[in-house]
Amino acid sequence: MGTRRYLTSKVLQALFTLVFVIVFNFFLFRGLGDPVRNLARNKLLPADAIAELEEDFGLHDPMFPDQFVNYLGDTTRLNFGLSYKFRQPVIDVISSRFWRTLLLVGVSTILFTLIGIWIGIWSAWRRGSALDYGGLFFSLVTYSMPEFWLGMLLLLAFGVLIPLFPVSGVTTTSETYTGLRAIWDVAGHMVLPTITLVLAYIGEYALIMRSSLLDVMTEEYVQTARAKGLRDVFVRRRHAVPNAMLPTVTLIALNLGFIVSGAITVELVFSWTGLGFLTVEALDVPDYPLLQGLFLFFSLAIIVANLIADILYGYLDPRVRNA
């Protein structure tokens, strides 16, 4: 009964947050002024097209309830209008770029999660050793590095001074590779932005895992297992690490939502045309329908990630869902 009540409360909280974001999204971009006239001032539209576009976008209708009701209906149908810049439905523009961000962020997340957890475990288990000090120093240095600065250093070092990898784009635009060569081409373009994201986030995971494991190692059940003469590897795998993983699992789920929108700087440095790069393009116009769709998408990703974190935490720690 406690589990069902816990899940229901978390799902309702997520739905309430989503409704708030949808409503806030409507008023936020309409508070920035008339988008059509802003485009005209930027010389993207001729003056005689303003009235026609305002009619097409329903800007002559009262904001509330007409525009608001239409906005809610369109949002439920995933209809965010036409992008000013690309002249395509917003949902199509976002869908065409989503796989690129998912590929970059997905591979990077797997790498920095596994490596960061491994560094944290061995640093805590060998506390005070050279391995611990080395891992702690490496984690603190990488954790303090800004993503854009690190990306530019890698770009300069391995794209210009020692040209081992492509410096920009997702594929080689001058070539039309197919099959395995196309995959290899994308992989080559991914190397530098992936290393940047891995180095930028690996320290956070290592530090949290180290701190959590050090706390668990002081618990009585770990001391008892050691006193029974169990081998260190068995104590570490069966008793210490599973319980120390709770904060790290929560961090993994939360970062899945934040990294999708947080890869903007890395995508911009390496011209990786994913959702982050698309956001900058939309801001340059400004492309209000596209920005509105991206804002809602990023918010939804964070809400879902928070919900997953709450569910996982409740599953891994029964005390939470039975509270």
Mean pLDDT of the chain: 83
Residues 6+ apart with CB under 8 A from 105: 197, 259, 260, 263
142 & 42 share domain: no
153 & 216 share domain: yes
The pLDDT of residue 192 is 94
168 & 48 share domain: no
Instruction: Copy the structure tokens of residue 238.
Output: 């069966």
Asked whether residue 84 is domain-assigned, the answer is no
Cis peptide before 65 (omega within 30 of 0): yes
How far is Cα 190 from Cα 182, in angstroms, rounded to an integer?
12
Q: pLDDT-based confidence at 92, cuts 50/70/90?
A: very high
Which of 47, 76, 105 delimits the end of a domain? 76
Write phi, then psi, for 83 (nearest 5 degrees).
-70, 130
Most confident of 65-74, 100-109, 233-242: 100-109
* Count of domains forming the chain: 2
Alpha carbon distances (Å) from 204 to 50, 77, 139, 212:
49, 38, 7, 12
Single-letter residue type at 319: R
151 & 19 share domain: no
72 & 19 share domain: yes
170 & 199 share domain: yes
Which of 44, 76, 108 delimits the end of a domain? 76
The pLDDT of residue 83 is 86
232, burial (CB in 10 Å: exposed 0-12, middle 13-18, buried 19+):
exposed
Span 208-260, pLDDT tens digits: 999 988 888 888 877 787 777 777 777 777 777 887 887 787 777 777 776 66
The pLDDT of residue 134 is 92
Asked whether residue 117 is domain-assigned, the answer is yes
Asked whether residue 149 is domain-assigned, the answer is yes
Which residues constitute the domain of residue 67? 2-76
114 & 59 share domain: no
143 & 23 share domain: no
26 & 126 share domain: no
CATH code, domain carrying 158: 1.10.3720.10
Look up residue 89 and give its DSSP letter.
Answer: B
